[in-house]
Amino acid sequence: MKKISSLILASVIGSMITFGVFYSFDVFDGKTLKIEHISSTGGNGAVLAMDKKGDLRPLDFTDIADKVMHSVVHIRSTQTGAIADQISQGQLPDPFKRFFKNGPFDDLFGPKYHFESPRVQKMPNLKMGSGSGVIINDEGYIVTNYHVIKDADDIEVTLNDNRTYKASVMGTDPSTDLALIQIKEKDLTALPMVNSDDVEVGDWVLAVGNPFNLNSTVTAGIVSAKARNINILKDRSAIESFIQTDAAINPGNSGGALVNLQGGLIGINTAISSPTGAYAGYGFAVPSNMVNKVVEDLLKYGVVQRGYLGVTIRGLDGNLAKVKDLELTEGVYIDSLMENSAAQKAGLLAGDVILKANGIDVRSAPELQEVIARYRPGDTVDLLIDRKGKEKEYEVKLKNKEGNSELIEKENTDMLVLLGVELEDLDKETSRKLDIEGGVKVKKLHAGKLKRHTGMKDGFIITKVGGERLKDKDQLIDILENTNGGVMLEGFYEDYPGVYYYAFGL
Q: What 3-state class would DSSP assign to 191?
A: coil
Helix (H) or strand (E) run with residue 451 in it: helix 449-453
Of the candidates 147, 241, 288, 386, the residue annotated as catalytic is 147
Quick one: how far is CA 401 from the chain centroid? Answer: 19
470 and 462 Cβ atoms separated by less than 8 Å: yes
Contacts from 135-139 at CB under 8 Å and sequence distance 24+? 135/71, 135/72, 135/73, 135/188, 135/189, 135/190, 135/191, 136/190, 136/191, 136/193, 136/265, 136/295, 137/188, 137/190, 138/186, 138/187, 138/188, 138/189, 138/190, 139/182, 139/186, 139/188
Contacts of 161 (CB under 8 A, 6+ apart): 70
CA atoms of 437 and 441, how far apart (whole Å): 13
* First vs last C-alpha separation in the chain: 66
CA atoms of 258 and 278, how far apart (whole Å): 18
CA atoms of 485 and 465, how far apart (whole Å): 13
DSSP symbols for 460-505: -EEEEETTEEPSSHHHHHHHHHT--SEEEEEEEETTEEEEEEEEEE
CA atoms of 213 and 77, how far apart (whole Å): 13
Identity of the amino acid at 19 = F
Q: Is 177 a catalytic residue?
A: yes
Of the candidates 29, 153, 173, 177, the residue annotated as catalytic is 177
Residues in the chain: 506
Q: Is 70 a catalytic residue?
A: no
Identity of the amino acid at 295 = V
Q: Is 147 a catalytic residue?
A: yes
Of the candidates 15, 77, 132, 254, the residue annotated as catalytic is 254
Query: Which residues are designated catalytic?
Result: 147, 177, 254
